[in-house]
Amino acid sequence: MTASFTLSLKQAWRRADSMLCVGLDPDPARLPAPLHGKADATFQFCRAIVDATADLVCAFKPQIAYFAAQRAEDQLEALIAHIHAHHPGIPVVLDAKRGDIGSTAEQYAREAFERYKADAVTVNPYMGFDSIEPWLAHAGRGVFLLCRTSNPGGADLQSLDVSQGVSQGLVGHERLYERVARLASGSWNRGGELGLVVGATVPAELARVRELAPELPLLVPGIGAQGGDVAATVQAGSSTDGTGMLINSSRAILYAGKGDDFAAAARQAALETRDAINRFRRPQP
């Protein structure tokens, strides 16, 4: 762990020449056959994926729900400790989508940063800035705010036009997710460690977020199993230096193989995804 998530992410982009983030969503129903019946199968599975792909990624993103539903918090702790010990410099983004206020938010921040020792976390912005502030008190840790999510229902609230009667001088419309991007890129970004979660399924919206938040790291789910187009995603979301994104793939990598070869198959899928991303990256400086 370095003193700044943003800095360690920039180093990881360069070191691995990669914007691929591997999502660790260990579904017990989909674990490969050799692990069936083992008490710590979840940890063993994720550790094998991590060790097989670590040189190809800019970050790992464990999803806490898959551990919590199985009463496997200890395996999540062990997994993150393994990443820090054996792959130092690769940031861990804990995908928890927490969101609460005051002393409760402080407890969630302790859970993510002190208990699990994550370098960054995903947070839901619906409760406003004072629900984000307690996370920012942990200097150097990253906070990715949900902005425009990749699911069809993401539009239900996030795409509502909020420009009415608010900003008098505003030309055109502003959607709720654009407001979140504008705030995260501006007054909310105390400490400079905010990022945004933006789905890959609508490249025009990803491009709009990049326009509103030119400097923020974007965590982008939705390629692979969710069907987003790699070329359009990279072109829409990259920052001017050809980096700026954590393009997440979970299932397409985790479950590339079903038998003894699952880790090798995951590596092959990760390699192909990284290279597909790199084919469309802007030239690096």
Residues in contact with a second copy by the rule CB under 8 A: 25, 27, 63, 65-66, 68-69, 71, 73, 97-105, 107-108, 110-111, 114-115, 124-131, 146, 149, 151-158, 160-166, 173, 176, 179-180, 183
Q: Would you say 13 or 116 has its CB closer to a second copy?
A: 116
Helices (H), 198-261: 203-212, 230-237, 251-254
Task: Identify the burial level of 153 via C-beta atoms within 10 angstroms of its C-beta, where 0-12 means exposed, 13-18 middle and 19 or more buried.
Answer: exposed
Q: Would you say 15 or 129 has its CB closer to a second copy?
A: 129
The residue among 129, 122, 124 whose CA lies nearest residue 144 is 122
φ/ψ of residue 74, rounded to 5: -65, -35
> In angstroms, what is the minimal distance from the CB of 125 to a second copy?
7
Q: Would you say 158 or 238 has its CB closer to a second copy?
A: 158
> In angstroms, what is the minimal distance from the CB of 24 to a second copy?
12
> In angstroms, what is the minimal distance from the CB of 164 to a second copy?
4
**Does residue 157 contact residue 169 with C-beta atoms inside 8 Å?**
no
> In angstroms, what is the minimal distance from the CB of 131 to a second copy?
6
In total, the chain counts a number of residues equal to: 285
Q: Would you say 25 or 193 has its CB closer to a second copy?
A: 25
> In angstroms, what is the minimal distance from the CB of 247 to a second copy?
18
Q: Would you say 130 or 211 has its CB closer to a second copy?
A: 130
CB atoms within 10 A of CB 168: 5
Reported as type and span, the H/E element at residue 205 is helix 203-212
What are the structure tokens assigned to 75, written together? 């395996």
The region, left, alpha or beta by phi > 0 then psi within -120 to 50, assigned to residue 219 is beta
> In angstroms, what is the minimal distance from the CB of 12 to a second copy?
24
**Catalytically annotated residues:** 97
Instruction: Identify each DSSP E strand in 91-166 by its residue range.
Output: 93-98, 120-123, 142-148
CB atoms within 10 A of CB 181: 26
* Chain-centre distance for alpha carbon 199: 10
Reported as type and span, the H/E element at residue 21 is strand 20-24
Residue linked to tokens 């840790």? 141
Q: Would you say 6 or 149 has its CB closer to a second copy?
A: 149
